[in-house]
C-alpha cells in the first residue's frame, strides 16, 4: 500500500505535484523537501516583476502556509536531500533523520551553467536562479548602473529589459550571430533585437570572451578580438544544467537529465521525475527524447506525475509552451519548430504577428507569436490546440487574419 509520498524539490513541479496528489485523492503523508529557506515560489517573475516592480517584493509564493495546511503537505525547507537509498526506500537528509517513502518524486530542477572563462568567479560574475539572487540584482539596478549581460537568450534579454526599465544601461554579449538562437525563429529574433536596440541596449553578437578582469572603474569583459566592455555588474545567462546528482548517485538512468518514460517514471518503478531535471519521449515529435526548461512544462508535469504516482496510465503529451515578457512585448511559443520546413506568417496588426511552422507533411508543429499579450495570446492558445490534434491546416487559412483559427478545429 502506498502511504508515504516524498517530493525532493520545492519548485514549480514539486509543489504542484504535492497539491495534485491530494487533489487526486491521496490520503497518506506528503512531504516536500526543499533546500531554500523560502516557501515554494514562482521563478519566472525573478527576471521580470521582481526586478521592475515599484516596491521590493516578497517571494511570489506557489504554496503559502495556509495552502500547505489546507492540503496537509509537510514542507521541510532549508533541508538538503543528500542520498537516495532505493533498497531501503529512504532519502537521507542533511541534519535530519532519513525520510522513508513508498513513492518518490525527484523535482530538483536545474542550476545555472557557470561561465567557464579565466577570471570568472563568484566575485566577478553573477547568476539568476533564486529569489535571493534576484533581490541582490534589483538593489544594484539604478540609474547610471552599467549592467553587462553575457548570453542573449530569454533570461539575458529579460534582464537587459529590466535594467533599462530601472534606468540602468545594458550591454548584451552573445556568442552566436543572433539572439535567441535555440528557441526563437530568426525573423522574430530580429524584431526583438531591433526593439532592444531602440531601447538603448547595446548588442554585441558573434563575440567570444577571452577573460574577465577587475579594474578600478568596475568589471571588464575582454573579448576574443581584444575589445573591452566595462561595467559595474556582470551577470551570465548561458543556459542551465539539470540537477541530476542525487539520481545519478542512486544509479538511475541519465540521458540529458533523469531519463523517464512517457508516464514520467524512471527505471525504478517507485521513483518518478518531473520538470527541468528530466528528459522524456514526446509522441508529438516522433517520440524524440526532450528536456524542457519552462514554467508551463514544470506545472503540467507536476499535475501529470501526481496521477502517475497514484497508478494512472496516461501518457504525458502536453504541447511545449514558452513565453517571455520584454518591455511591452510578449513572446509566446507553442510546440517545437525544428521539424518545420515552412513558415507562414499571420499579421495581426498593431505590430503583432504569429508565425506558423509546418512540417513537410503539412502538419502544424509550432507557432510563435510576438506582440502585446492581448493581441497574440488567444491565437497562440488555439494554435497549441491545433498542434495537439496534429492538424494540417492550409497555409492560406493560417495566413489570413480574417479566418478564425477556431474554425480550423476539424
Per-residue pLDDT tens digits for 336-374: 988 899 999 999 998 899 999 999 999 999 999 999 888
CB crowding 226-240: b at 16 or more within 10 Å, else e: eeebebbbbbbbbeb
Say how far apart CA 296 and CA 320 lie, in whole Å: 8
1: pLDDT strictly greater than 70: no
Per-residue pLDDT tens digits for 209-234: 999 999 888 999 999 999 999 999 99
403's enclosing H/E stretch is none
Sequence-distant (6+) residues with CB within 8 A of 219 are 124, 148, 212, 213, 230, 231, 232, 233, 234
Per-residue pLDDT tens digits for 88-125: 999 999 999 999 999 999 999 999 999 999 999 999 99
Edge-to-edge strand ranges of the sheet holding 90-93:
81-85, 90-93, 96-100
Full-model pTM: 0.95
197's enclosing H/E stretch is helix 186-198
3-class DSSP state for residue 80?
coil
Per-residue pLDDT tens digits for 130-162: 999 999 999 999 999 999 999 999 999 999 999
- The domains found in the chain, sorted by start residue, are 4-111+240-309 (3.50.50.60), 114-236 (3.50.50.60), 328-408 (3.30.390.30)
Q: Which of 113, 126, 224 is nearest to 175 (CA)?
A: 224
* C-beta separation of 355 from 327 below 8 A: no
Q: Which of 372, 334, 354, 324 is nearest to 160 (CA)?
A: 324
Say how far apart CA 309 and CA 199 lie, in whole Å: 48
Sequence-distant (6+) residues with CB within 8 A of 52 are 162, 165, 166
Amino acid at each position: 500500500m502506498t502511504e508515504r509520498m516524498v517530493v525532493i524539490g520545492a519548485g514549480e513541479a514539486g509543489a504542484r505535484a504535492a497539491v495534485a496528489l491530494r487533489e487526486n485523492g491521496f490520503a497518506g503523508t506528503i512531504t516536500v523537501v526543499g533546500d531554500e529557506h523560502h516557501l515554494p515560489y514562482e521563478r519566472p517573475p525573478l527576471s521580470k516583476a521582481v526586478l521592475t516592480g515599484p516596491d521590493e517584493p516578497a517571494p511570489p509564493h506557489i504554496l503559502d502556509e495556509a495552502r500547505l495546511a489546507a492540503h496537509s503537505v509537510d514542507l521541510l525547507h532549508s533541508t538538503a536531500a543528500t542520498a537516495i537509498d532505493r533498497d531501503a526506500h529512504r532519502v537521507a537528509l542533511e541534519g535530519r533523520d532519513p525520510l522513508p517513502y513508498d513513492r518518490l518524486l525527484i523535482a530538483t530542477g536545474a542550476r545555472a551553467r557557470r561561465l567557464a572563462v579565466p577570471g570568472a568567479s563568484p566575485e566577478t560574475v553573477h547568476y539568476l536562479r533564486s529569489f535571493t539572487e534576484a533581490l541582490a540584482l534589483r538593489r544594484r539596478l539604478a540609474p547610471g548602473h552599467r549592467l553587462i549581460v553575457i548570453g542573449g537568450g530569454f533570461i539575458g534579454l529579460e534582464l537587459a529589459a529590466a535594467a533599462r526599465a530601472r534606468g540602468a544601461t545594458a550591454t548584451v554579449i552573445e556568442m552566436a550571430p543572433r539572439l535567441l538562437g535555440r528557441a526563437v525563429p530568426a525573423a522574430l529574433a530580429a524584431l526583438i533585437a531591433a526593439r532592444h536596440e531602440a531601447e538603448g541596449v547595446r548588442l554585441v553578437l558573434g563575440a567570444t570572451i577571452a577573460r574577465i578582469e577587475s579594474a578600478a572603474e568596475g568589471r571588464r569583459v575582454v573579448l576574443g578580438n581584444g575589445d573591452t566592455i566595462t561595467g559595474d555588474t556582470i551577470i551570465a545567462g548561458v543556459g542551465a544544467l539539470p540537477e541530476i546528482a542525487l539520481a545519478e548517485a542512486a544509479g538511475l538512468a541519465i540521458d540529458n537529465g533523469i531519463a523517464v518514460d512517457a508516464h514520467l517514471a524512471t527505471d525504478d518503478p517507485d521513483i518518478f521525475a518531473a520538470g527541468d531535471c528530466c528528459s522524456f519521449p514526446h509522441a508529438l515529435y516522433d517520440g524524440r527524447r526532450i528536456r524542457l526548461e519552462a514554467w508551463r512544462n514544470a506545472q503540467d508535469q507536476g499535475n501529470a506525475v501526481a496521477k502517475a504516482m497514484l497508478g494512472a496510465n496516461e501518457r504525458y503529451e502536453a504541447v511545449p509552451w514558452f513565453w517571455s515578457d520584454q518591455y511591452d512585448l510578449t513572446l509566446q511559443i507553442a510546440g517545437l519548430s525544428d521539424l518545420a520546413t515552412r513558415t507562414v506568417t499571420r499579421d495581426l496588426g498593431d505590430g503583432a504577428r504569429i508565425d506558423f511552422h509546418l512540417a513537410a507533411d503539412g502538419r502544424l508543429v509550432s507557432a510563435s507569436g510576438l506582440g502585446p499579450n492581448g493581441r497574440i495570446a488567444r491565437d497562440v492558445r488555439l494554435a497549441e490546440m491545433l498542434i495537439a490534434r496534429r492538424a494540417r491546416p492550409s497555409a492560406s487559412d493560417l495566413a489570413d487574419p480574417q479566418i478564425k483559427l477556431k474554425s480550423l478545429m476539424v
